[in-house]
């Protein structure tokens, strides 16, 4: 058994051509999807980066581990304390450990554990290779060690190789010689000048007025994109940067596929493609970042091509709801292992092996590093509840009909209080079940007590500095509200 797990950071599925995007961003991923199974409602339980990968590699919801932030107490797993044995339970229950127990040699090529000081991601791995760029590594830096590993080990049986690419993540700094494959191609027409004008009257890090963060100055290494979105030309330049990142990563996915073919093992190697989170590009006035618990940020791609498993399901699309940690449970089943009792996953192996398309009735999602939000995803609806705004103009409740409004432009919370109530009921029911399993209670309240999420913390000097910028740019009324409410929503959204 050979498994190649391609983990592309910041990859939203609706910007892949195999998911219906108008631009041909992903020819190599498209070919993998045509030979395997594609999941259309696959979501990260917790976003962004550290919380998402923690959930996948521990097999547990963030509300259970408490690791849902990028800093502070709630960026780390809790210690076992006096119950700890010779090895930590986080290690004995890790995805990497389970794969090793299944007889697989485990290896990872990724700068992620060092970037976030989150070494629990590679608990149980036999080999790890840090490319050293701290998460701004381009695919041309990730690919060589992955290729070397395949050349040295690929023909051996029973391995699991994790390859982590970063190119869709900001800054858009792909090599200049790669050019812009989409220079002459339009962007989606849901982005309008009216939308941009309204967003520029609002505020927040990575909004239309401050795309790079809390100012409009792009970092020196950025080659594409805009520091501020003033018009449709700026929006296109921004989107070209993101889509070129996808295309560049896809180019190196093609190289990995060719390596498997050159070694004569392509037909025997399972290929899994996914991500840690999506990326908002105008949705909820977030440009080029991952700050919300919404459909855009938490929904991620999953493509599985597994010889001997998906052979009869080539080109299939699964529309049922699944969490990213369900992949861990599925890997346990397909490698002949029983998942650890502490895991929260539900295997979807049956959807790979047969025509079945079964999943969860609904999902509850979270964001804890840029804002504190929890959402309920069911049917064609998503209800988002904001606990801490993260320096944004989010109301407490937002309700969107994703079938009619996939880019979340119209909040229906006022019009449909019945659905707001239903979403809250599902969320409360899920919370009650999780509190029986949690180690530190609801981590949101711990984060809020610390001053808020790492990237928008009320106690950090950047909060005051951003309020000063708002006053300097004619948006002083927003600064007044931030100083009055702190991270609390200004409105309920139900007015």
pLDDT, mean of each 10-residue run, the chain (495 residues): 99 99 99 99 99 99 97 96 93 98 98 96 97 94 99 98 98 96 98 98 98 96 97 99 99 99 98 99 99 99 98 97 99 98 98 96 99 99 99 98 99 98 98 87 97 98 97 96 97 93
pLDDT > 90 fraction of the chain, expressed in percent and rounded? 98
Short-list 43, 13, 7, 62, CA closest to 294: 43
Q: How far apart are CA 115 and CA 418, in angstroms?
A: 43
Q: How far apart are CA 40 and CA 348, in angstroms?
A: 13
Strand-strand pairing, 316-323 and 37-43:
parallel
Short-list 377, 416, 376, 371, CA closest to 395: 371
Short-list 9, 11, 53, CA closest to 166: 9
Short-list 418, 367, 394, CA closest to 485: 394
pLDDT at 437: 85
Count Cβ neighbours within 10 Å for each residue of 434-463 and write b for 16 or more, e otherwise: beeebeeebbbebbbebbbbbbbbbeeebb
Claim: this prediction has a pTM higher than 0.75: yes
* Strand arrangement, sheet containing 372-378: 46-47, 363-367, 372-378, 381-388, 397-401
The answer to whether 226 and 211 are in contact (CB under 8 A) is: yes
Q: How far apart are CA 448 and CA 222, in angstroms?
A: 33
CATH architecture of 2-361: 3-Layer(aba) Sandwich (3.40)
Domain range summary for the chain, segments of one domain joined by +: 2-361
Q: How far apart are CA 490 and CA 113, in angstroms?
A: 36
> How many residues comprise the chain?
495
Q: How far apart are CA 183 and CA 39, in angstroms?
A: 30
φ, ψ dihedrals at 386, nearest 5°: -100, 125
Take residue 337 and report the two structure tokens written for it: 């292992």
Q: What is the DSSP string of 32-52?
A: HHHTSEEEEEEE-SEESHHHH
Take residue 210 and report the two structure tokens written for it: 């401050």
DSSP code, position 69: S
Give residue-wise pLDDT tens across range 293-333: 999 999 999 999 999 999 999 999 999 999 999 999 999 99
pLDDT at 436: 87
pLDDT at 439: 76
């Amino acid at each position: 058994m050979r498994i190649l797990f391609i983990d592309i950071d910041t990859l939203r599925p609706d910007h892949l051509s195999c998911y219906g995007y108008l631009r041909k961003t992903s020819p190599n991923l498209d070919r993998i999807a045509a030979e395997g199974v594609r999941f259309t409602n696959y979501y990260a339980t917790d976003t962004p980066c550290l919380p998402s990968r923690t959930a996948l590699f521990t097999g547990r919801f963030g509300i259970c581990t408490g690791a849902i932030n990028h800093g502070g107490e709630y960026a780390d797993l809790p210690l076992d304390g006096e119950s700890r044995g010779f090895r930590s339970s986080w290690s004995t229950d890790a995805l990497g450990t389970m794969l090793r127990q299944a007889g697989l040699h485990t290896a990872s090529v990724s700068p992620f554990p060092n970037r976030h000081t989150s070494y629990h991601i590679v608990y149980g791995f036999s080999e790890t290779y840090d490319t050293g760029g701290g998460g701004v590594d381009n695919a041309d830096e990730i690919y060589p060690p992955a290729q070397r590993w395949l050349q040295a080990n690929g023909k051996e049986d029973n391995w699991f190789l994790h390859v982590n690419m970063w190119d869709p993540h900001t800054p858009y700094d792909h090599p200049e010689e790669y050019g812009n494959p989409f220079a002459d191609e339009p962007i989606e027409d849901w982005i309008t000048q009216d939308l941009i004008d309204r967003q520029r009257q609002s505020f927040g890090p990575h909004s239309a007025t401050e795309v790079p963060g809390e100012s409009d100055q792009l970092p020196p290494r950025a080659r594409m994109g805009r520091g501020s979105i003033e018009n449709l030309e700026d929006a296109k330049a921004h989107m070209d940067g993101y889509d070129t990142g996808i295309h560049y990563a896809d180019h190196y996915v093609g190289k990995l596929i060719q390596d498997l073919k050159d070694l004569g093992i392509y037909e025997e190697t399972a290929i899994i493609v996914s991500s840690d989170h999506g990326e908002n590009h105008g949705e909820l006035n977030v440009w080029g970042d991952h700050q919300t618990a919404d459909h855009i940020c938490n929904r991620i791609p999953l493509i599985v091509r597994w010889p001997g498993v998906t052979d009869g399901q080539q080109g299939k699309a699964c529309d049922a709801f699944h969490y990213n940690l369900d992949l861990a449970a599925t890997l346990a089943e397909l490698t002949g292992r029983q998942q650890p009792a502490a895991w929260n996953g539900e295997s979807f192996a049956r959807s790979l092996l047969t025509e079945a398309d079964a999943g969860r009735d609904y999902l509850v999602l979270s964001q804890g590093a840029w804002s504190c939000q929890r959402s309920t995803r069911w049917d064609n609806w998503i209800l988002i509840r904001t606990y801490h705004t993260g320096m944004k103009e989010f109301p407490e409740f937002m309700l969107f009909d994703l079938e009619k409004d996939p880019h979340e432009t119209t909040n229906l919370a006022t019009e449909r209080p019945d659905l707001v109530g239903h979403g809250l009921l599902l969320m409360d029911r899920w919370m009650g079940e999780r509190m029986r399993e949690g180690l530190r209670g609801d981590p949101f309240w711990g984060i809020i007590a610390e001053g808020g999420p790492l990237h928008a913390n009320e106690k950090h000097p950047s909060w005051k500095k951003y309020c000063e910028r708002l006053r300097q740019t004619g948006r002083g009324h927003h600064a007044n509200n931030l100083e009055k409410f702190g991270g609390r929503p200004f409105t309920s959204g139900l007015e």
